[in-house]
Amino acid sequence: MDVTDARQQLIDYISSDAVFHGDFTLTSGKKASYYVDLRKVSLDHRVAPLIGQVMIDLIADVPDVSAVGGMTMGADPVAAAILHQGAARGLSYDAFVVRKEPKDHGRGKQVEGPELAGKRVIVLEDTSTTGGSPLKAIEALEKVGAVIAGVAVVVDRNTGAREKIEDAGYPYYAAIGLADLGLE
């Protein structure tokens, strides 16, 4: 399947299965007339492979990326999709998970997965609103010595996340925008 087919199929699934209309309060506290619940599709066996393909194509030109991941829970299925679709293409993206807080038992880690010190990573988010989750993940990743190659999101809500991430000095990549979903 070529890139445009996978992306269009992904847009179609998100539009039909993950966009809900009504009155919603977003993470930012702002009100919205629709809500994009990407977990409705990122955990679907038909859609997860498409997410992996589209996101790999999105970050393909970012050099020397060792691993992908972000704040649990939204980034987890996206990272897994990239890991699996990447392996199917002969690519070697590992995945990591950033906990909201360090564990209070075991090894007390906040970042789970492969050793990331000195490694270039992409921070993922399923749907961006404020940019707060990727920045929190970046803070934890920099503590373990990871090098942030950028932030990549599946759906950008166009609510300031891009500006916040770029103002913090990180490249921002979005696979799908509101216009793609007919929401602008």
Query: Per-residue confidence of the chain (184 residues) as pLDDT tens digits?
Result: 666 799 999 999 999 999 999 999 877 788 889 999 999 999 999 999 999 999 999 999 999 999 999 999 999 999 999 999 999 999 999 999 999 988 676 666 899 999 999 999 999 999 998 899 999 999 999 999 999 999 999 999 998 999 999 999 999 999 999 999 999 7
What pLDDT score does 14 carry? 98
Termini Cα distance of the chain: 28
Q: Which residues pair with 127 in a beta bridge?
A: 155
Euclidean distance between CA atoms 40 and 17, whole angstroms: 7
Are the CB atoms for 177 and 32 separated by under 8 Å? Answer: no
Structure confidence at residue 129 (pLDDT): 85
Q: Give CA–CA dist 98/75, Å, rounded.
A: 9
- Say how far apart CA 40 and CA 102 lie, in whole Å: 27
- What secondary structure does DSSP assign to the chain, as a single string? --HHHHHHHHHHHHHHHTEEEEEEE-TTS-EEEEEE-THHHHTSTTTHHHHHHHHHHHHTTSTTEEEEEEETTTHHHHHHHHHHHHHHTT---EEEEE-SS--SSTT--SEESS--TT-EEEEEEEEESSSHHHHHHHHHHHHTT-EEEEEEEEEE-SSSHHHHHHHTT--EEEEEETGGGT--
Cα 140 off chain centre by: 16
Q: Which two tokens stand for residue 20?
A: 């809900």
Determine the pLDDT at residue 153.
98
- Predicted TM-score of the model (pTM): 0.94
Of 3.40.50.2000, 3.30.980.10, 3.40.50.300, 3.40.50.2020, the CATH number of 3-181 is: 3.40.50.2020
* The pLDDT of residue 102: 81
**Cα–Cα dist 126/36, whole Å:** 10
**What pLDDT score does 124 carry?**
98
**pLDDT at position 2, please?**
67
